Structure 1
Amino acid sequence: MNPRLRRIYSKCVVEVERGTLSDLVNDRYDYLMIDLASITYGLRDPRTFLMNVRLALDYDYLRPSVTFVIDYSRPEHKAVAESRVKWLRELGLDYILAEDEPAEVRAARECLRRGRCIVLSRDYDPLTVMDEMIQPIKITERAWINRKITINKECLNNYLKEKEN
């Protein structure tokens, strides 16, 4: 998403709910698509994050079926993607390679095909495809707080019309 459009989206986002990931997804969604690069950006040890997801699934703390979506559309993404794929395979976690579009858009399109599905991403791009998503507010090595958000389409349309004039 280009920076100008991101600023517009940020003005029109509506927070629906706030809490831990399990509070926001368990018993509400059958599928959770995670934009891996977006979520692990800035973490010192992305592999530890993946191990924690594996443990959360194993101990039924996180109940939806989790699929990670990995950017694979550009050469600069492929080098990082290979190590992430290796980790995901070692941990027995599902993944999809986003080869023709950004991972967050691919995740949203995949969600629409599955039903009772939501995307976890830092980016607003899933809201260009679907009506709601989960966005982390704060991620640390030990805990994270998330918010379920939607986009106010009337607000978005007003800003887009202003930009056209």
Structure 2
Amino acid sequence: MKIQIQQEDFSIEEEVAALRAGQPSVGAVVTFTGVVRDLNLDTGVSALELECYPAMVEKTLSNIVAEAMQRWQVMDATVIHRIGRLEVEAQIVFVGVTSLHRGDAFAACEFIMDFLKTDAPFWKKEHSVQGARWLDARSCDQQARHRWDSSGREE
């Protein structure tokens, strides 16, 4: 398991290669990469600024990944989240999961993202031509998180 909070960009190809290295039993690699988009809530966006207490976020993310590994047959997982000022089209987050089979890899990757969006304590400030504003948690992220029941499958 790799959990990292960083300002630097990451290479998707390098992260996938690291997940697969020395693992000939890997049958599925599922990844998600989030990027800064130029529009949010009908407002043009020029940049996104992310802040956090790295140790607190790393602990939260480790717990989320550990939960995913208990629910599904996950061989390995990586979560990288960037902080600082990120311009439009910049990569924000990478989640990669390996498993024997695609079903477990897809479910675990989605689970990790759903919980990351609601449980990881990041502060997000959006920059636009109208100025800067702090973003609140979105109800759709809470709904995505709540669809997972205790059995590990979607409700």
TM-score > 0.5, shorter chain as reference: no
Structure with the largest fraction of strand: 2
Q: Which has the higher helix share?
A: 1
Instruction: Normalising by structure 1, report the TM-score.
Output: 0.26
Scaled by the length of structure 2, the TM-score of the pair is 0.27
